[in-house]
Amino acid sequence: MECVNWFIEGYKKLTGKTVPAEQVGYEAVELAQEEIGYEFIPEEDLKKLPDPLLVETCVYDEGEDKEWIAGIVLHGDLNRGIYTFWTRNGESISRQFIDEWGEE
């Protein structure tokens, strides 16, 4: 589960805390752009991404009403990440393109 390991490493960088892999939920889904909430990927970034999107998502409930959701948008032909996002309780923590994918 490469995505779960990515989440664990990113979570530690953001919080300084570790989380056991078995407490991280994982899902990979293909979504049309209109199915993505702007709290995850803003409209201006969506315009630069393929449609539909293949998204690997990790979820972790830290307790005390702190839910973390992080995702990697994959490019199907390349099978590599092209965009990442992190949210906590529905608020954006980080969003970024990987390897200049979204540059115009």
Eight-state DSSP code of residue 103: -
Integer Cα distance of 62 and 68 in angstroms: 7
Cβ contact 8:31 at 8 Å: no
* Extents of the domains making up the chain: 2-97
Global pTM reads 0.87
Mean pLDDT, the chain, rounded, equals 89
> What are the backbone dihedrals phi and psi of residue 63, each rounded to the nearest 5 degrees, phi first?
90, 170
pLDDT in tens, 10-59: 999 999 999 999 999 999 999 999 999 888 999 999 999 999 999 999 99
pLDDT confidence of residue 104:
39
pLDDT at 78: 58
